């Protein structure tokens, strides 16, 4: 009887372990789809040429998992009250593992050229509980008969729902919770342009040229609440956000690819403090608790603790932002560059402030199927904060290396150094800096 019970336990364990592998090994193909593994790297907007014959409704499940080990140190010698029990004391750091993050992806082929995506954060630094990132439906074909519709949809794509706003190209290369395969580095830009908003986008693509126009509610979630007045701003209008994108993406030959794009995003008035283009991430940064205020035995006191190491200019009432991106791949070498200029304000201000961001990164991929890479990134932000009379600056230099053990498994490491310049001495970031290394293991499928 004991032998039979042991055999039953073994059978149950094998079933529980093998069944998920078997299910994911038989993943259906979805049209106009960006893979969540290594083959999705350097993909931007989905292509019209990516078609799969429709054979009925299909559901594809995917996931992204990431686990990190961090050894970072920080200091803020320019800030007053930064020792003992002072208000500007930094949270004491030790090396150790961060809590693992996980994403769940569901892609559904609803009809010929029509797909649905729903992405959920199972566990993230900002939200440990499960949250739905968003969902949208994408039309690369329409169920209308006639040559007119057929010709239009050969170059057009329509996306409707609650989705990741297509402002700039950097969001295609960023880490998003457990989905960290696309990013050669540990974290995203210092000023992270990412938001999920409710609306629609229309694309046109032909012969490497592309254009897009979008309109959204301008907020991370739906909101019908009434707004409040302030002495500085009596305008309670809740206006939509409008944004545009255009560019060229060409393979000059088998080993050379060039892409150049420009994006513009604007919202003239959000009733409360809803605009989140630079603060819409619901997962958090991958530098845990660096440059955060806190005391031993307690969580950091900063309200921005989930976004350690990042910088938000605070354009929550009004915003205009422009981003220009350049991408070049020559054999195994990649260059990705960004220029961004933005301005805006909060509801308690009367004048716009400005922020500028520059970034450049070089990646060299080598080995069999480019399964190894090394890279360097320089990122800098110059901005005027609310209440400041001078600009502040944040600089980051990072060096990274990675190894794709398979197309689904990546091990990468980064050495980083970040500095905070020209912050007033009452700000806890005055003279601040952090440096050290982070190691990360990622699975994506």
User: Does residue 301 carry a pLDDT above 90?
Assistant: no
Domain encompassing residue 282: 59-444
pLDDT average, residue stretch 252-262: 97
User: Does residue 281 carry a pLDDT above 80?
Assistant: yes
pLDDT average, residue stretch 125-135: 86
Say which CATH number the domain at 353 has: 2.40.160.10
Residues of the chain with pLDDT > 90, as a percent, come to 74
CB burial of residue 7 (10 Å; 0-12, 13-18, 19+): exposed
Dihedral in degrees, nearest 10, Cα atoms 30, 167, 179, 190: 170
pLDDT average, residue stretch 30-57: 91
User: Does residue 300 carry a pLDDT above 50?
Assistant: yes
Radius of gyration of the chain (CA): 23
For residue 438, the model assigns a pLDDT of 98
For residue 46, the model assigns a pLDDT of 93
pLDDT average, residue stretch 244-266: 97
For residue 2, the model assigns a pLDDT of 41
For residue 393, the model assigns a pLDDT of 98
Structure tokens at 150: 């057929």
pLDDT band at 225 (very low <50, low <70, confident <90, very high): low
- 390-417 exposure pattern, b = at least 16 Cβ within 10 A, e = fewer: ebbebbbebebebebeebbbbebebebe
User: Does residue 23 carry a pLDDT above 70?
Assistant: no
pLDDT average, residue stretch 53-71: 95
Residue 39 domain flag = no
The structure's pTM equals 0.90
pLDDT average, residue stretch 9-37: 62
pLDDT band at 272 (very low <50, low <70, confident <90, very high): low
Q: Which residue has the higher pLDDT, 14 or 354?
A: 354
Structure tokens at 221: 């979630």
User: Does residue 233 carry a pLDDT above 50?
Assistant: yes
* CB distance 429 to 79 below 8 Å: yes
* CB distance 354 to 385 below 8 Å: no
> Distance from CA of residue 180 to its chain's centroid?
9
User: Does residue 24 carry a pLDDT above 60?
Assistant: no
For residue 52, the model assigns a pLDDT of 85
pLDDT average, residue stretch 273-290: 88
For residue 229, the model assigns a pLDDT of 66
pLDDT average, residue stretch 45-64: 90
Secondary structure of 73-113 in the HEC alphabet? EEECCCCCCCCCCCCCCECCCCCEECCCEEEEEEEEEEECC
pLDDT average, residue stretch 275-284: 88
Per-residue pLDDT reduced to its tens digit, 141-187: 998 888 899 899 999 999 999 999 999 999 999 999 999 999 999 99
* CB distance 307 to 394 below 8 Å: no
pLDDT average, residue stretch 21-28: 61
Residue 25 domain flag = no
Structure tokens at 419: 């500095």
* Backbone phi and psi for residue 432, each to the nearest 5 degrees, phi listed first: -75, 155
Q: 3-state class of 22 per DSSP?
A: helix
* CB distance 241 to 267 below 8 Å: yes
pLDDT band at 334 (very low <50, low <70, confident <90, very high): very high
pLDDT band at 117 (very low <50, low <70, confident <90, very high): very high
Q: What is the rounded CA–CA span in Å between residue 399 and residue 430?
A: 25
Residue 99 domain flag = yes
Residue 2 domain flag = no
Q: What is the rounded CA–CA span in Å between residue 413 and residue 441?
A: 9
Nearest residue to 386 (alpha-carbon basis) of 357, 356, 358, 355: 355
pLDDT band at 239 (very low <50, low <70, confident <90, very high): confident
DSSP 8-state secondary structure symbol assigned to residue 306:
G
Domains of the chain: total:
1
* Backbone phi and psi for residue 17, each to the nearest 5 degrees, phi listed first: -85, -35
Residue located via tokens 């699975």: 443
pLDDT average, residue stretch 180-195: 96
Average pLDDT of the chain, as a whole number: 90
Nearest residue to 310 (alpha-carbon basis) of 396, 375, 388: 396
For residue 11, the model assigns a pLDDT of 38
User: Does residue 224 carry a pLDDT above 70?
Assistant: no
End-to-end CA distance of the chain, in Å?
A: 41
Residue 143 domain flag = yes
Structure tokens at 262: 């420009």
Structure tokens at 128: 């440990």
User: Does residue 359 carry a pLDDT above 80?
Assistant: yes
For residue 178, the model assigns a pLDDT of 95
Quickly count: other Cβ atoms within 10 Å of residue 162's Cβ.
19
pLDDT average, residue stretch 233-257: 90
User: Does residue 333 carry a pLDDT above 80?
Assistant: yes
Per-residue pLDDT reduced to its tens digit, 391-440: 999 999 999 999 999 999 999 999 999 999 999 999 999 999 999 999 99
pLDDT band at 22 (very low <50, low <70, confident <90, very high): very low
For residue 442, the model assigns a pLDDT of 98
DSSP string, 403-417: EEEETTEEEEEEEEE
Residue 21 domain flag = no
For residue 10, the model assigns a pLDDT of 37
Q: Which residue has the higher pLDDT, 15 or 207?
A: 207
């Amino acid at each position: 009887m004991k032998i039979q019970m042991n055999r039953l336990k073994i059978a149950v364990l094998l079933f529980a372990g093998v069944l998920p592998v078997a299910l994911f090994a038989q993943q259906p193909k979805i049209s106009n789809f960006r893979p969540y593994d290594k083959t999705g790297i350097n993909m931007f907007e989905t292509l019209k040429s990516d078609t799969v014959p429709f054979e009925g409704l299909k559901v594809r499940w995917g996931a992204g998992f990431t686990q990190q080990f961090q050894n970072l140190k920080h200091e803020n010698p320019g800030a007053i009250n930064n020792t003992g029990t002072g208000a500007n004391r930094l949270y004491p750091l030790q090396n150790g593992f961060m809590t693992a993050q996980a994403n769940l992806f569901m892609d559904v082929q609803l009809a010929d050229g029509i797909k649905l995506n729903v992405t959920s954060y199972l566990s993230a630094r900002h939200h440990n509980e499960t949250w739905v990132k968003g969902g949208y439906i994408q039309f690369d074909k329409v169920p209308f008969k006639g040559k007119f519709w057929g010709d239009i949809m050969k170059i057009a794509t329509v996306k409707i729902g609650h989705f990741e706003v297509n402002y700039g190209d950097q969001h295609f290369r960023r880490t998003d919770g457990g989905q960290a395969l696309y990013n050669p580095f540990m974290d995203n830009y210092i000023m992270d342009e990412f938001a999920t908003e409710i609306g629609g986008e229309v694309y046109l693509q032909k012969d490497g040229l592309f254009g897009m126009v979008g309109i959204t509610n301008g907020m991370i979630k739906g909101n019908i609440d009434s707004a409040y007045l302030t002495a500085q701003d009596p305008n309670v209008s809740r206006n939509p956000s409008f944004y545009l994108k255009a560019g060229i993406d060409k393979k000059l030959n088998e080993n050379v690819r060039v892409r150049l794009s420009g994006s513009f995003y604007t919202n003239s008035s959000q009733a409360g403090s809803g605009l989140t283009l630079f603060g819409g991430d619901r997962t958090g940064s991958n530098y845990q608790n660096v440059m955060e205020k806190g005391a031993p035995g307690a969580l950091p006191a900063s309200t921005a603790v989930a976004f350690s190491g990042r910088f938000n200019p605070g354009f929550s009432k009004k915003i205009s932002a422009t981003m220009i991106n350049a991408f070049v791949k020559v054999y195994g070498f990649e260059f990705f560059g960004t220029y961004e200029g933005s301005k805006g304000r909060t509801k308690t201000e009367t004048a716009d402030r400005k922020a500028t961001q520059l970034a450049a990164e070089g990646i060299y991929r080598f080995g069999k199927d480019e399964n190894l890479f090394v890279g360097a990134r320089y990122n800098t932000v110059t901005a005027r904060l609310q209440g400041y009379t001078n600009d502040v600056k944040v600089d980051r230099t990072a060096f990274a290396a990675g190894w794709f053990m398979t197309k689904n498994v990546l091990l990468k490491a980064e050495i980083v150094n970040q500095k905070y310049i020209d912050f007033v001495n009452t700000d806890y970031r005055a003279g601040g800096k952090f440096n050290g290394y982070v190691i990360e293991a990622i699975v994506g499928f």
